[in-house]
Amino acid sequence: MSTQNKAAPQKFDPVRAAAVEALVLIEQGEQTDMAVHHVTQGREFRPLDRRFLLQLVNGATKMRRRLDHEIKFYLSRPAAELPLKLSNILRLGFYQLRYTDRIPAAAAVSESVNLANVMTDRSRASLVNAVLRTSLREPDKVKYVSADDDPVKYLGDYYSYPDHFVAHCLREFGYEQTEKLLKAYNPAPRVTYRVNYLRSKPDEVARLLQEGGIEFSFGKYLPEFIHVDASGLPLEAELIKTGKVFVQDESAGLAVRLLNPRPDHHVIDLTSAPGGKATYAAIRMRNRGRVTAVDKSHSRLEVVVRNARRLGIKIIAPVASDMLEFASGSYDRVLLDPPCTGWGTAGKNSDLRWTKTADDIKNLVRIQTRMINHAAGLVKPGGVMVYSTCTIIRDENDQVVEEFLLRHDDFELESGAQFFHSELISERGFVKTYPTINGLDGSFCARLKRKPN
């Protein structure tokens, strides 16, 4: 049979193709990590390829609103809705042109055209080629609304956030601080390792990082936390798999230090999985006492158990239960980290800004209120409860705690000033972090002591 009429196979980059597939799944409602998992199954990507894939997917997802805003200035019919694959090929192309410094513009254009040829058709590939090339020749075609006329739209378009979050930040922080905050969440996040004192010491981990040529810095507030300036999980085999470190932001560690669990205490972590705070508490307790780890998901509790085993922790007792139904015993220390909007982690969770709504805050506050009321019943007289979140929304933080104190005169707020630097402490004694002030994820925690009988 003649093969002269067979078309030559189209060349395309499989990593960029996987990125487009992941972006489509995310836009359809899939979480970023699951979307990446789905598109990499059965594909043998090198670690370098996987890091590039994550960079493209997370970056293009974060900057979706700004990318769409810019793309429309180069379309003949900007109001027309583009097919999902085509729109995400364009987003990926624009992201490479605007936000990466190691990809030549010619490569970004040609690879995008190749993808369009394979994933759509020739006419749409021509459109991709024309749009990207025109954007390079005429970058000044892109316009933004005046910040004075409409600050919410300007900040939302320029920094790529939903209007409701921008509006909240403007009310809470004012224009200047809001702009700094939105900007701070957009770069690629760094990874932070918490050194496990049961298996290693900060100096040993630092030495291994130095030998690997990896730049790092010690935590500003918690010295066993090490911020690593590298993509991926550097020295994963030597550090993570051996249990010498655990991946956790320094802001998350503040809640455990505020709880201040001591050896031989009985501690309960009411929403424990994947076990970052529970394992940190156990290490602070020197593996003496008990940490009851409650989670309603069996599979997520298995992750807690595996993490504890890898870290050499022997005092964690897993309990599969909805925390609102758990009512066994009383504890020296109670840690409540309820579901929240997660806006403090907008730099790490790229799809968060497109999945959370203004209504989520109201719904979560009701859940958080029920949880803190229930958790209070587990604190023994003289014991301590810490309420912590990874959000910067006041309704979920200050308001929940203040209203709790009005309902429970047997509890009193203890300032975090006895544990941390004053720049972390609000006027009321709450512990708060922001990427613009501390260089950490946004977080909140409050120490609530039950009065002795």
Q: pLDDT band at residue 3, thresholds of 50, 70 and 90?
A: very low
CB 340 within 8 A of CB 391: yes
Fold of 250-450: Rossmann fold (3.40.50)
Query: What are the start and end residues of each CATH 1.10.940.10 domain in the chain?
Result: 14-141
215 backbone dihedrals φ, ψ, rounded to 5° = -75, 145
Fold of 14-141: N-utilizing Substance Protein B Homolog; Chain A (1.10.940)
- The tens digit of pLDDT for each residue in 62-98 reads 999 999 999 999 999 987 889 999 999 999 999 999 9
Q: Find the helix or strand (DSSP H, E) in which 413 lies.
A: strand 411-414
Q: Find the helix or strand (DSSP H, E) in which 263 lies.
A: none
- The tens digit of pLDDT for each residue in 282-309 reads 999 999 999 999 999 999 999 999 999 9
CB 84 within 8 A of CB 24: yes
pLDDT at 389 over 80: yes
What is the spatial distance between Cα 335 and Cα 337, in angstroms, rounded to a whole number?
Answer: 6
- The tens digit of pLDDT for each residue in 6-41 reads 555 668 899 999 999 999 999 999 999 999 999 999
CA distances to 64, 75, 176, 352, 389 from 173, in Å: 24, 36, 8, 21, 19
pTM to 2 decimal places: 0.93
**What would be the CATH architecture of the domain defined by 191-247?**
2-Layer Sandwich (3.30)
What is the spatial distance between Cα 306 and Cα 288, in angstroms, rounded to a whole number?
Answer: 19
Q: pLDDT band at residue 275, thresholds of 50, 70 and 90?
A: very high
Chain mean pLDDT for the chain = 95
Q: Regarding predicted confidence, which is higher, 377 or 453?
A: 377
CB 245 within 8 A of CB 307: no
Determine the pLDDT at residue 280: 98
- The tens digit of pLDDT for each residue in 107-158 reads 999 999 999 999 999 999 999 999 999 999 999 999 999 999 999 999 999 9
What is the spatial distance between Cα 32 and Cα 17, in angstroms, rounded to a whole number?
Answer: 16
Q: pLDDT band at residue 430, thresholds of 50, 70 and 90?
A: very high
Burial of 341 (0-12, 13-18, 19+ CB in 10 A): buried
Burial of 193 (0-12, 13-18, 19+ CB in 10 A): buried
pLDDT at 5 over 80: no
Query: What are the start and end residues of each CATH 3.30.70.1170 domain in the chain?
Result: 191-247
pLDDT at 174 over 70: yes
